[in-house]
A = this chain, B = another copy of it.
Amino acid sequence: MEAKLNELKQRLYEVADLNSAGSVLHWDMSTYMPPGGAPARGRALATLGRLSHEKFTAPEVGHLLDALRPYEESLPYDHDDAALIRVTRRDYEREVKVPADLVSRIGEHTAMLYNKWTEARPANDFAGLAADLEETRQLSIALAECFPGYTHIADPLIGFSDYGMTAETVRAVFAELRQQLVPIVRAINAQPEIDDSALHQHYPEGQQLGFGLDVIRDYGYDFNRGRQDKTHHPFMTRFAWGDCRITTRVKEDDLGDALFSTLHEAGHAMYEQGTAEAYDGTPLGGGTSAGIHESQSRTWENQVGRSRGFWQHYYPALQAVFPEQLGSVSEHAFYRAINKVKPSLIRTDADEVTYNLHVMIRFDLELQLLEGTLAVKDLPEAWNARYQSDLGVVAPDNRDGVLQDVHWYGGLIGGAFQGYTLGNLFAAQFFEAAQQAHPAIPAEIGQGKFGTLHGWLQDNIYQHGSKFTAAELVQRVTGGPLRVDPLIAYIKAKYGEIYAL
């Protein structure tokens, strides 16, 4: 059995090498690649994606998984070898259903469209992308159709990102959340608006980046195995256990943008850096789902980075970096400014309370696009109508409307967004559990100490990589399934205090 397991691992390492190379090419495409590199880069990504797919879905992998089944069944469920065989089989049985040619076409198309989007968004040119987005829609449907038996066409795509979830289960969670959120948003909107003009002075890029790097070093992000670069759209990418990078973007008239995106992406990266090194190069090496991943980024961005205690510790340091801008702004005023709740246009800039309404809009539009009940050409109008009805705001142009997120232009339609809100729910539920285990965590955050929280996340979530599904993990860690009420309780407590509700 050991020989077969080793043979399986060798095959998985080869696949991981190809995927890692693809990730480096993607990262470079988003950070440093000159425009002229785009066509060849798209082809190279398509080739790497196809080869990785071919290697992973080779019949020999299936034979090895069959041969290893008795061994797997002889082991406890949470034994590493059992998990490796189980998770590899799950991924194998999924990927084997997808033709290599489709993988290649998706890789090449999405790389091409990503590069177009980086120019089309500043130019406010949705029309110039519409035909390509329609192609993305058709490729997304073609991929979903590789998995007959779904209830909703989006189900396979949702399952890729958030294993075990479907359009129906996500809709049910979102409906419950929306029902509880909307009255809170209304109540906050009835209160006087917070003045956050202090955040919109001139903040030079270099100092902004320097402060963010200092904080995430304190968090425990390991720069020996990571780094930060600039991109159009912030992201985290894992090349290997030893190289988990983050990116950000800087707006010199908005102090919050780069800072909170840095804390956010560092949360993603600490999750990846914390996975067991022994899992590297296998399907266990890496976060288990989009929702769980997002819970880790949101924890460090919000539960920690937007907390009162955090700023009791860090605000003097931030004032020292920006004495002219913040010298006369009180910590209290600053804390309120970064937690201002106001329906707005940009998801990534949204406050914690209205954020999930942005996600729900995208999720619903994805389903409609895939169903064919919404045409790509009508997407901007539908987008604006939903922003009007759900948030009471309308973008002056598509740049800050339907073109704002990279997801549909750099990947598939379907499964791209639900993880953000699932992540907020998981984050609140996990943070509640962490505080129950270690009541001192909030006080430690107030001293700029993150070791207890980081250690708890490491032990309970990070180290497991993809060993457990999201549902298994939340059950193990919190003793029950995903719940909406921890997020609502967190929001009510925090914003009830801020807005004196």
Interface residues of A (CB under 8 A from B): 13-14, 17-18, 20-22, 24-25, 28, 32-41, 43-44, 46-48, 51, 222-227, 229, 239-243, 245, 280-281
14 extra A-B contacts, CB within 8 A, seeds A20-B44, A40-B281, A41-B240:
A13-B43, A13-B47, A14-B47, A18-B47, A21-B22, A21-B48, A24-B24, A32-B227, A33-B243, A34-B223, A35-B224, A37-B242, A37-B243, A39-B240
- When distances are taken between beta carbons in the complex, the residues of chain B under 8 Å from A24 are 21, 24-25, 28, 44
21 sample A-B contacts, Cβ–Cβ < 8 Å, listed by A number: A13-B43, A18-B48, A20-B40, A21-B44, A24-B24, A24-B28, A32-B227, A34-B224, A34-B226, A34-B227, A36-B225, A36-B242, A36-B243, A37-B225, A37-B240, A37-B243, A40-B241, A40-B242, A40-B280, A40-B281, A44-B240
Cross-chain contact of A40 among B28, B223, B224, B243 (Cβ < 8 A): B243
The A contact surface, by secondary structure, is: helix
Does A222 lie within 8 Å of B36, measured CB to CB? yes
Instruction: Report chain B residues within 8 Å CB of A51.
Output: 18, 51
Assembly CA distance A224 to B33 (angstroms) = 9
Separation of A489 and B32 alpha carbons in the complex (Å): 43
The list of the 9 closest CB pairs from A to B, nearest first, reads A37-B243, A40-B240, A36-B225, A36-B242, A17-B47, A17-B44, A21-B21, A36-B224, A20-B44
Specify the chain B residue showing the minimal Cβ separation from A35: B224
* Chain B proximity of A111: nearest CB distance (Å): 12
C-alpha gap A245/B28 in the complex (Å): 12
Q: Are B242 and A38 in contact (CB under 8 A)?
A: yes
Tell me the complex Cα distance, A51–B281, Å: 17
Q: Are A225 and B280 closer than 8 Å at their CB atoms? A: no
Q: Which B residues are in CB contact (< 8 Å) with A229?
A: 32
A40 — which chain B residues lie within 8 A by C-beta?
20, 239-243, 280-281
Given A28-B24, A28-B28, CB of A225 within 8 Å of CB of B43:
no
